[in-house]
């Protein structure tokens, strides 16, 4: 990439209005937010300084075992001690996204994961996430639709309950997702829940084909009615599945650094995002878990630009694509699209 393009990206990217489709609330809780939760709500923490908390909660190098990531998500479940805390965490996660000029954010969360540890009601958790996220969004002129996640580990019954909640809390909740261990929890038991999601007009995205399971991507499309795929990078060695996504215009929600840290790719440079893009598979760029991995969307776009030799126009197109594939009503996405165009015309 020409040097001047790099410098232009670095100076302007943080200010470019951005759109993100794949960001977990559980992975968006900064150390500063944790300390504030401790002061305001008495949330117990294993450390009381930002530096020490970062050490315990942020994972910036490739993990040596899955336990390193799981223990950090456990920590998140432990701090969801009340609906007030959940509302606060959702509020701060959106406020943090605003600081990097994210203007359209599909924030996803698992009601079961956040509710069950401390015996909160599922409804109370969903309402708290809505209250916190929408207050922050309104204050900052953002559009923040929500996605309800069902965990494979919690089984099909909780999955269906989660999707029914999602339908109940529209229009704030616009879609559903399935996450968790792909290898030990095949998709078939979840078919009925996804039929329900489709029949009730919810957007559908599925975590599939991250570490293994390219075939899970095909199943997600054909049997779970997926409109988008979380990660899905394993399909790079399966031309037929790439063709399926390209033909049906189903994008991958790509998270480069996240894939690297969990060991799905050996290096950032080895990430197949460029090959997937060149093969005609629609892609979007996402942070996945910014606080957990010590990253932000701006940085992820820089990584993408560097490894794929993408210029400013390409980075703009990634934002427009994220808006195109977003689950919120077109009128909401059009507002952000307009903002993005007017910003682009000024720089």
The catalytic residue positions are 210
Q: Which is nearer to Zn ion, 57 or 287 (CB)?
A: 287
Residues 117-156: x where in contact with Zn ion by CB under 5 A, - otherwise, as a string? ----------------------------------------
Report d(CA 9, CA 7) in Å as an integer.
5
Residues 156-175: x where in contact with Zn ion by CB under 5 A, - otherwise, as a string? --------------------
End-to-end Cα separation, the chain, in angstroms = 19
Strands 173-179 and 102-109: unpaired
Q: Which is nearer to Zn ion, 288 or 300 (CB)?
A: 288
**Minimum distance of Zn ion from residue 292's CB (angstroms):** 10
Report d(CA 337, CA 75) in Å as an integer.
37
**Minimum distance of Zn ion from residue 28's CB (angstroms):** 11
Taking CB positions, which residue lies at the least distance from Zn ion?
A: 288
Binding positions for Zn ion, 285-304, rule CB under 5 A: 288
CA–chain centroid gap for 72, Å, is: 16
> Which tokens hold the place of 62?
């490739």
Report d(CA 234, CA 344) in Å as an integer.
34
Q: Which is nearer to Zn ion, 20 or 288 (CB)?
A: 288
Cα atoms found within 13 Å of the Cα of residue 248, Cβ hemisphere only: 18
| Cβ–Cβ < 8 Å for 261, 63 | yes
Number of alpha helices (DSSP H) and beta strands (DSSP E) in the chain: 17, 8
Q: Which is nearer to Zn ion, 83 or 281 (CB)?
A: 281
Applying CB under 5 A, what is the total number of residues that bind Zn ion? Answer: 1
Q: Which is nearer to Zn ion, 28 or 91 (CB)?
A: 28
> Which tokens hold the place of 257?
């650094």
Neighbours of 237 (CB within 10 A): 11
**Minimum distance of Zn ion from residue 287's CB (angstroms):** 10
DSSP element (H, E) containing 335: helix 330-346
**Minimum distance of Zn ion from residue 51's CB (angstroms):** 27
The stretch among 125-133, 262-270, 280-288, 331-339 that binds Zn ion (CB under 5 A) is 280-288
**Positions that interact with Zn ion (CB under 5 A):** 288
């Amino acid at each position: 990439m020409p040097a001047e393009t790099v410098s232009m990206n670095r100076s302007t990217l943080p200010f470019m209005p951005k759109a993100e489709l794949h960001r977990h609330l559980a992975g968006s809780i900064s150390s500063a937010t944790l300390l504030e939760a401790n002061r305001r709500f008495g949330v117990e923490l294993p450390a009381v300084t930002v530096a020490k908390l970062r050490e315990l909660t942020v994972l910036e190098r490739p993990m040596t075992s899955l336990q390193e990531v799981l223990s950090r998500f456990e920590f998140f479940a432990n701090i969801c001690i009340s609906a007030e805390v959940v509302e606060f965490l959702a509020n701060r996660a959106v406020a943090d996204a605003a600081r990097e000029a994210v203007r359209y954010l599909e924030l996803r969360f698992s009601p079961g994961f956040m509710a069950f540890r401390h015996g909160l009601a599922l409804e109370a958790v969903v309402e708290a996430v809505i209250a916190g996220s929408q207050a922050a969004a309104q204050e900052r002129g953002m559009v923040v639709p929500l996605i309800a996640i069902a965990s494979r580990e919690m089984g099909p019954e909780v999955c269906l309950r989660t999707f029914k909640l999602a339908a109940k809390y529209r229009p704030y909740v616009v879609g559903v997702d399935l996450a968790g261990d792909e290898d030990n929890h095949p998709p078939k038991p979840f078919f009925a829940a996804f039929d329900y999601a489709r029949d009730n007009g919810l957007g559908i995205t599925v975590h599939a084909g991250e570490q293994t399971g390219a075939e899970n991507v095909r199943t997600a499309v054909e049997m779970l009615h997926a409109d988008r795929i979380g990660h899905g990078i394993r399909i790079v060695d399966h031309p037929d599945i790439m063709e399926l996504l390209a033909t049906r215009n189903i994008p991958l929600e790509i998270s480069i650094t996240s894939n690297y840290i969990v060991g799905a790719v050996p290096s950032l440079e080895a990430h197949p995002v460029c090959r997937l893009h060149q093969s005609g598979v629609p892609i979007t760029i996402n942070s996945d878990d910014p606080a957990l991995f010590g990253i932000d969307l701006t940085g992820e776009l820089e990584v993408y630009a560097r490894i794929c030799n993408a210029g400013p126009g390409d980075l703009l197109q990634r934002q427009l694509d994220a808006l195109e594939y977003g689950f919120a009503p077109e009128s909401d996405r059009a507002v952000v699209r307009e903002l993005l165009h007017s910003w682009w015309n000024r720089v």
